[in-house]
Amino acid sequence: MENALNLDTVVLSEDKKSIIILDQTLLPNETKYLSLDKAEDIWEAIYKLRVRGAPAISVTGGYAYYILADQADTENMDEFVSQCTKNMEYINSSRPTAVNLSWALNRMHSVLLSEKEGKGVAWMKERLMQEADAIREEDIQISRNIGAYGFELLEKLGKGVGIMTHCNAGTLATAKYGTALAPVYIALEQGWDPKKDLHVYCDETRPLLQGARLSAYEMQAAGVDTYVQCDNMASYTMKSGKIGIIFVGCDRVAANGDFANKIGTSGVAIIAKHYGIPFYVCAPSSTIDMTMESGEEIHIEQRKPEEVTEMWYEKRMAPEGVGVVNPAFDVTDHSLVTGIITEKGIATAPFKESFEKMGIKPVEKYVDKKSNTPL
């Protein structure tokens, strides 16, 4: 089993004409890369979770903006901007909850609008490629910084700590290292014994099993003492005293500290609060949406019922015609959060003030997550 740190989640092809992604829907049984250069294929890959994880989606968004811009067959800058805008809105519609996708698209579009005067289309295409590369390289350092702050928490708890996580926010969800699993990778770099010093408990994360398929795959490949549990077993494990800390990733954080993450996260946070277990959210500052006052404003993506009733089963496991509730995410209240670990430091309540002290500010938007139209 190959160490996941050696796998490139999202990269630009050597000829700079397509995005190369690791198809995560096939893991852990098959390692396959896809080459994407059409808008429809990129949209499908994001929607179908072939590429997933908020940071990895942001990298994909940056490269998607560039790849599609590079295909524009015009030397007229106004026409070029118009085509880029349409492509941006289309790609943005693939995941309505994860803010990192729109953040990357907005960043790319801001470069176009602010630097286009007096420049040719060919020059602008090269500049956009540079910006997309920068997003990827920055993500690696951001993840490493988050891991370093998280590792400080592990050091305080001491070796032998039990860590619980929900969904997958490891290296597969980013350009490298991850967010929620980054502290584990940093601990390994610091010489911690993967079998004796670290014990990771992965919620399977129904219905798409990102915890069982991806987080457990990553941790086992890294040699870490790893366990998979059904989502409804989290309370049992916490009550047993095996868990010292919980790390989760997220897809969007509101200004007050409410956050959206994979469905089931809020339940884990509620149980952790009951048992007095520290609950930390690992989030790049790009995931913090200071334009949203609270989690009530976060749009929750609703996915197809077949993911619940048919996927992973040889035969359909629920009656035909039965209603299905299948939200991709839930929103966890800020009162349940011990801290939010960013690359700039660890934010604590009151979160809005903490974010502002870190210099996190509202970002200008050219696409809106709710309507997918220009602001």
Residue numbers annotated as active site? 251
Contact 7, 172 (CB under 8 A): yes
**What tokens were used for 8?**
């490139």
β-pairing, 198-203 vs 161-165, is parallel
Q: Give the residue among 243, 12, 290 at the shortest CA–CA distance from 135.
A: 12
Amino acid at 340: I
**What tokens were used for 30?**
């098959």
Please name the residues in contact with 34: beta carbons below 8 A apart, sequence gap of 6 or more. Answer: 20, 21, 23, 41, 45, 50
| DSSP helix/strand/coil, 203 | strand
Query: What are the residue ranges of helices labelled H in 173-264?
Result: 182-189, 210, 216-221, 234-239
Distance CA 79, CA 84 (A): 9
